[in-house]
Amino acid sequence: MPSASVAQPLIPNASVPELPQPYLVFLGDACDISFAKTAHGLRDWAPERCVGELACAGERISIGLPALSPGCLLYTSRCV
């Protein structure tokens, strides 16, 4: 029986790709927080990997991360 602490791929011998880190969570043009469920999941399940959020201009929702731009991640893992 597989260990509960190690995720098993659905397809035997399939590799799971690693996504580049840190994560800048894109909220898009969501105007209701219920449309940002994936962003909330990332923030809750991998908080150490999420350094900020990015929303389209004029949008007001937030998941509680610092507002950053993609350029910030080129120079440092966090922009102040």
Domain extents for the chain?
Answer: 23-75
- Residue-wise pLDDT for 49-71, tens only, equals 999 999 988 877 899 999 998 87
Average of pLDDT values for 14-19?
76
pLDDT of 58 reads: 81
Q: Which helix (H) or strand (E) holds 75?
A: helix 70-75
pTM above 0.75, yes or no: no
Secondary structure (DSSP) of 11-53: STTPPPPPPPSSEEEEEET--SGGG-HHHHHHHHH-TTTEEEE
Count of CB atoms within 10 A of residue 11's CB?
7
